[in-house]
Structures are given as structure tokens and as C-alpha cells.
Structure 1
Amino acid sequence: MWYLYGFVLLAGVANAVQAGQNGALSKGLAQSLTAGLIVAAGTMTCILAAGLLSGRLAWPTYQQAAEMPWWAWFGGLMGGGIILVQFVAARQVGAAPFLGLLVTAGVLTSIVLDHFGWIGFEQHPAGIWRILGGLLMVVGVALVAVS
């Protein structure tokens, strides 16, 4: 189980690096949305390769699709939105404030999602330590952004 934390740390590093890569790609092309399609194609290729190599790739059955909550189908749109924001804001804001805001907004949102058990998460109460941790992240991002 602990190795999963290593994967998450690597994904965090990749998230910071990807913002710069996507910003440079967007700047170097005539249209930033073209860069988005290139990024999406790379994402699809990565997931396809992992699925084929692991044997864990299968289209859902009609019954599975019908039983899926309506909101579960929109994660790709949110991922696309994150990539669009990288194109528009990451270079101008800077790597540290950009990723700090991105992660802090995610943590604050996840505290609310956990507290109420929304969108498939198990319920975990937003106790004083979680709330304090979220507030400290806000302060940390403010310090990173102003320096």
C-alpha cells in the first residue's frame, strides 16, 4: 500500500512539470486549443498502453453504463478544463503559485466532499485538524504567491 503514496508523489511532480510543458506547447503553436488536442492524444495513448499491457481495458456493458451516476461521466471535461487553465494561466502566474492554488483548491474541495460523502467518497468528518490544515495551505499559497 505504501508504494501508492510514491505514485501519488510522482504524479504531483508530473503535475507541476506538465503545467510548464503545456504552457510552452501552447505558446509555441498558433492556437492553444491545438496544444490541448495534442495533450489529450498523449493522455489517451498513455491510458491505452497501460490498459493493453495490464489487460485491464474493457468497454462498459449497457447495464454498467445505465447504473453509473450521471455526474461520473464528466471527469474528462474537468480534466480538459484543468489543461485549458494550464494554457491560459500557468506561465503568467508561475509554477509555484499555480500548483499551490491548484492543490489547495483541490484539498479544500476534498475536505467538503469527504465531510458530506459526496460523489462516491466515504464520509470523513471535517474535524478541526482537517480544517486547520486547509487554512494553513491557504496561508502557504499566499506566502508563495506574494514572494
Structure 2
Amino acid sequence: MNELKAKSTTEKTVVVPLLLIATILAGMLSPMQSAVNGQVGKQLGDGNASAVISFGSGLVVMAIVILARKSTRQQFSSIPKKIASRSLPWWNWLAGCCGAMVVFSEGASASVLGVATFQTTLISGMVISGLVCDRLGIGVAIKQPFNFPRVLGALLAIVATVLVVLPSWQAPKVIALAILPFLAGLLAGWQPAGNSAVAQETGSMLVSITWNFIVGFSILGLALLIRIGMGQVTVSLPEAWWMYLGGPLGLLSIALMALLVRGLGLLLLGLASTAGQLIGSVLIDWLIPSLGNQVYLVTILGAVVALAGAGIAMVPSANKHVKLDELEGKS
């Protein structure tokens, strides 16, 4: 008995740190996606077009996945009837709008703000959104009241946002662009609840993710078509192959998180993935000067404060029992 316990303890000592490292690396996929979409938006001169390309590439991948299995094809084909039956509140079917806002803000502002500033403001918005959603009972079985740690986490998120935009305080245009990812983060906090509800209704998270991409692609595509028709924009496809990786990078991140959560649990997964996002953001801006973004000391400080705020805000949720199929990231 003691040998089995010692073996289990040893496995945890070795396996958990490895899983944490893997989660940090997986978290770095998010800033990579932001960097790709930001460069597409910069080349095309339009965040809307960049977001359509990102959603379109991801939708192609998910269509192949869904069509490959009979069960997922049947689950997906049941969506029109389920929407018509109104068994699920209609707003859950529109969770893809949140992802559309995130990806649009990447194309419109990531190349100007820098990946580190973009990700920090996005995460800060998500921390505050998570606090509000838990308080209102959105996506959770039990409402979580405001308490000191959770409010402190939200305040630290606001401080982090102020810190990362300080170097650009004299540039009103940049400050205005920083509002985009912050607002996207506020919306993204609700997205997992909507996607989880669709997954439970259809019986498949894969179907839910695909529907998420369809909604986002449709909204962004319609807006782009209207603007093209009005002569506001002329769109040409990017030539570099890597500029079509925005959607697939987001999907890979979601898939890895779904696998890693089994060994870590949601609390450790959330902390490690957030750390990966912020570390990856700073490294991208620092190691790839061709992106034209400078890493300031206050940018690094802001990223650290954002991680601290996210960690403090997550701790009260450690004892909440959340099903695996409730795990969902940005599209």
C-alpha cells in the first residue's frame, strides 16, 4: 500500500511539472495567432478582412473534422431543428460573435500595439468578465459572490492595462486601439458559457466549435461584403502561406488545452496557459524586431501584474466542479 502511494506521489512530482511546461508552451499559441492575424491586418490594411481569413481557415479545418465522422455529421445537421425548438436560449447560439470580436481586434490592433500589450489588455478584460459572469451565474452552476481576492484580481487587471499602454499615453490613436482587445476580453468571458451550452445541446464540443466558427465567419464576412459593396475597402488575399495559420493555431490551442486539463485540472491549466500567453507575447515582441514592436519595462511589469490578477481571481474557483466539455478558448 505504501509502495503504491509512493509511486503515485512520484508520478505526480514528475508528471505535473511536465504538464505545466506543456501548458505554458500551448498557451504561447495564442500570441502566435495574434501576431499572425496582426500582420495580415497590417498587410491588407483592414482588420475585418484579416478576421475573415482567420475564421475562414479555421472553418475549413473544422469542416474536414466534422465531415470525417458520421456521428458529428448527424449532430451538426440537427442544429436547425434545435434552434427552431428554442430548447436553448437563442443567445447561446451567438457565442461566436465574441470570438469574432477577439479576432477582429487582433487584425485591427495587434500589429500597432505589439503582441504583449494586446494580450495583456485582452487577458485583463477576460479576468473582469469572468468575475462578472461568475457573479451573475453565467456558465456556472452556482453564483460566485464578490469577495476581496476576486475584486483584487479585477483591480490588478485594470492596473495591468494602464501599465502596458503607458508608453503610448501621448498617442491617442494607440490608446483607442488598446480599447479593442479590452472590450473583446470582456465579451470573451461569456463565450465559454455559450459554447458549452451548444456542446451540451448537440452532444459534441467539436460541433459547438464548428458552429462558433460559422457564426463568427458569417458576421465578419457579411460586414466585409457590405463594405466592399459600398466601396470602402478593396481586399486582396495575402501571398505568404503562414498568414493563413491564424485559425488553425487557435484550434490547436483549444485541442491541447482539452487534453492537458485531464492531468492538471482547470485551475492549474488556467494559470499555466495565461502564463504561456504573456510569456509568449513578450518573447515574440522581443525576439522578432521585424514586427516593429518594442518591449518596455512597464510592458513586462504589466504582463506580470495581469498574471497575478488572473491567478488571484482564479483561486476562489478552485473548488468549483466544472465539466471538461465546458472548456473552450477563443476561436
Q: By the TM > 0.5 criterion, same fold?
A: yes
The question of whether the paired residues in 1 share the 8 Å contact of 2:38 and 2:107 is answered with yes
The corresponding residue for 2:140 is: 121
Hey, what does 1:23 align to over in structure 2? 38
In structure 1, the residue matched to 2:95 is 75
The yes-or-no answer on 1:140 pairing with 2:160 is yes
Distance 2:135 2:125 in 1: 15
What amino acid does structure 1 have at the position aligned with 2:136?
A: F
Larger Rg: 2
User: What's the counterpart of residue 64 of structure 1?
Assistant: 82
Pair 1:42–1:96, CA change in 2 (3 A): same
Q: Which amino acid aligns with 2:126?
A: G
**CA-based RMSD:** 3.0
Residues 2-31 of structure 1, C-alpha deviations (whole Å, 9 max, x = no match): 899778655642221111100111222365
Paired with 1:31 and 1:104, the residues of 2 have a C-alpha distance of: 25
Output the TM-score relative to the length of structure 1.
Answer: 0.78
Report whether the alignment pairs 1:130 with 2:145: no
Q: Which residue of 2 aligns with 1:100?
A: 120
| Letter in structure 2 aligned against 1:121 | V
Question: Which amino acid counterpart does residue 84 of structure 1 have in structure 2?
Answer: F
Give secondary structure in 2 for the equivalent of 1:125. Answer: coil
Asked whether the equivalents of residues 97 and 145 of structure 1 are also in contact (C-alpha less than 8 Å), the reply is yes
Q: Secondary structure at the match of 1:121?
A: coil
Distance 1:54 1:98, change over 3 A: farther
Could you tell me how far apart the structure 1 residues matched to 2:160 and 2:49 are? 34
| TM superposition shift of 1:125 | 2.1
Question: In 2 relative to 1, CA 112–9 (structure 1 residues): closer, same or farther, beyond 3 Å?
Answer: farther
With over 3 angstroms needed to count, the CA separation of the structure-2 counterparts of 1:24 and 1:61, relative to structure 1, is closer
Residue range with higher mean Cα deviation, 16-25 or 132-141: 132-141
TM score, norm. by length of structure 2: 0.38
Contact 1:96–1:145 under 8 Å retained in 2: no
* Aligned-partner Cα distance in 2 for 1:15–1:97: 13
Q: 1:39 to 1:105 in 2, by over 3 A?
A: same
Q: State how many pairs are aligned.
A: 145
CA distance in 1, matches of 2:46, 2:163: 34
* Closer, same or farther: CA 30–99 of 1 in aligned 2, 3 Å: closer
Task: Check the 8 A contact 1:22/1:87 in 2, yes or no.
Answer: yes
Shift of the 107–50 alpha-carbon distance from structure 1 to 2, 3 Å rule, reads farther
